[in-house]
Structure 1
């Protein structure tokens, strides 16, 4: 995610689409870690927001 942000900040966008496509895995990993216990609603919302933002970034970068 940091690399995607740096690419976005550089205004070159060479790697943004690829990196934005990989970034949602962080949200998925976080959600999976809490699967055994009740995931806080705020955490689940944050993970979904992250995945949506990554999808938007990927589409814009293409």
Structure 2
């Protein structure tokens, strides 16, 4: 599911916070750690991980 109007990466991964691309990562481990830490610190935010290889985003739930 591609989100129109976002500067989504063409490779790697990105953290999307409340509908805006915030940080890009080259590895799965990096994006997972970053997204889960962000969600843990700010559980009210909507945090998603975007995977450029499959052009899809998935929600991150609080740990």
Q: Normalising to structure 1: TM-score of the pair?
A: 0.28
TM-score, normalized by length of structure 2?
Answer: 0.28
Higher relative contact order (CA 8 A, sep 6+): 1
Q: Higher strand proportion, which one?
A: 2
**Structure (1 or 2) with the greater helix fraction:** 1
